[in-house]
Amino acid sequence: MRIVVIYQSKTGYSKEYAEWIAEALKAEVRDLKSAKKMDFSTCDWVIFGGGVYASRINGLKRLRELLGGQEGGRLSIFAVGASPPGQRNTGQLIEKNLKDWPRPVEFYYFQGGFDPEKLSPGMKLVIAGVKRVLGRKLKKHPETLTEDDRLFLEFFNSVHHHSDPGQIKDLVDFVETHIGQKDTP
Ligand SMILES: Cc1cc2nc3c(=O)[nH]c(=O)nc-3n(C[C@H](O)[C@H](O)[C@H](O)COP(=O)(O)O)c2cc1C
C-alpha cells in the first residue's frame, strides 16, 4: 500500500499538516517540487495539501498538471487557511478550486495561521502596500472602507496560530477506513 502526502507551503503550515498526516498513516511525505518525476500510477492514495491565497489553493494547478492523465489510486485534497473552518468557507474553496476537477476527490479544510515574519520578502512588500493603501483610506475616508477592507486590515495586522493535529482526524479516519478499497468515494 503506497500512500503519498504532497504539500505546497509558503510559511510552513501546510507542511506541518502534511507531516502529521504522513506520520498518522505511516505514509511518504514530500513537497510538490520533489514530486515532479513521480510515477503516480504506483500510488494507492495521493493526499495533497496547500495554503490558501486569495481563495486559491496554492500548488493545486501544478498538481493537476503532474497528475495529467496518469491513472492512480484515490485522491484527497486539503487546504490550509487562516480563516476559521466552516461550511461557507469550505463551499467557497470547493467552488473556486475543485469545481471542474476531473476525478472524484475528498476535500478537507484545516485552519493554519498567519505569521508575517515567515513570509518571503516579495510577499511582505505586497502586504505592506495593501496595508498602506487601506490605512490611508481608513484615516481620510473611513466611510469608504468596505467590510472586506476592514477584515483584510484586521487579518494582516495580527499573528494567528491555529494549527492543531486534532484537525486531521476526519481525513486520517477516512483513509484508514477505505484503504484497500478501490472504488471511488
Ligand atoms: C497574501 C495572502 C492572502 C491570503 N489569503 C487567504 C484567504 O483567502 N483565505 C484564508 O483563509 N487565508 C488566507 N491567507 C492566509 C494563509 O492561507 C495562511 O497563512 C496559511 O496558513 C498559509 O499556509 P502555508 O504556510 O502552508 O502556505 C492569505 C495569506 C496571505 C499572505
Residue-wise pLDDT for 11-50, tens only, equals: 999 999 999 999 999 999 999 999 998 999 899 999 999 9
For the beta carbon of residue 115, count every other beta carbon within 10 angstroms: 14
114 lines ligand 1 (CB under 6 A): yes
For the chain, give the number of residues.
185
Alpha-helical regions (H) of 26-168: 60-67, 87-97, 121-140, 147-156
Domain that holds residue 130: 116-158
Give yes or no: residues 55 and 96 share one domain.
yes
pLDDT exceeds 50 at position 110: yes
Residues contacting residue 114 through CB under 8 Å, at least 6 positions apart? 11, 82, 155, 156, 158, 159, 160
Task: Tell me the helix, strand and coil percentages in the chain, rounded to 5.
Answer: 50, 20, 30
Query: Is the model's pLDDT at 180 over the cut of 70?
Result: no
Q: Which of 153, 26, 102, 125 lies closest to 4 in space, CA to CA? A: 26
Q: Same domain for 12 and 102?
A: yes
Q: Is 82 in the pocket of ligand 1 (CB under 6 A)?
A: yes
**Ligand 1 pocket, 40 CB below 6 A?**
no
Q: Measured from the CB, is residue 78 less than 6 Å from ligand 1?
A: no
Ligand 1 in reach of 11 Cβ (< 6 A): yes
* Distance between Cα 88 and ligand 1 center (Å): 17
Instruction: Please state the domain count of the chain.
Output: 2
The CATH number of residue 54's host domain is 3.40.50.360
User: Does the structure show a pLDDT above 60 at 182?
Assistant: no
Q: Is the pLDDT of residue 54 over 90?
A: no
CA distances from 134 to 73, 128, 139, 154 (A): 46, 10, 9, 11
Same-domain pairing of 15 and 40? yes
Q: Are 48 and 62 contained in the same domain?
A: yes
Residue whose entry in the numeric block shows the C-alpha cell 520578502? 121
- For the CA of 50, the closest atom of ligand 1 is 26
Dig out the grid coordinates for 160 from the structure: 494567528
Q: Which atom of ligand 1 is nearest to the CA of 83?
A: 11
Tell me how far apart the alpha carbons of residues 89 and 47 are, in angstroms, rounded to a whole number.
Answer: 20
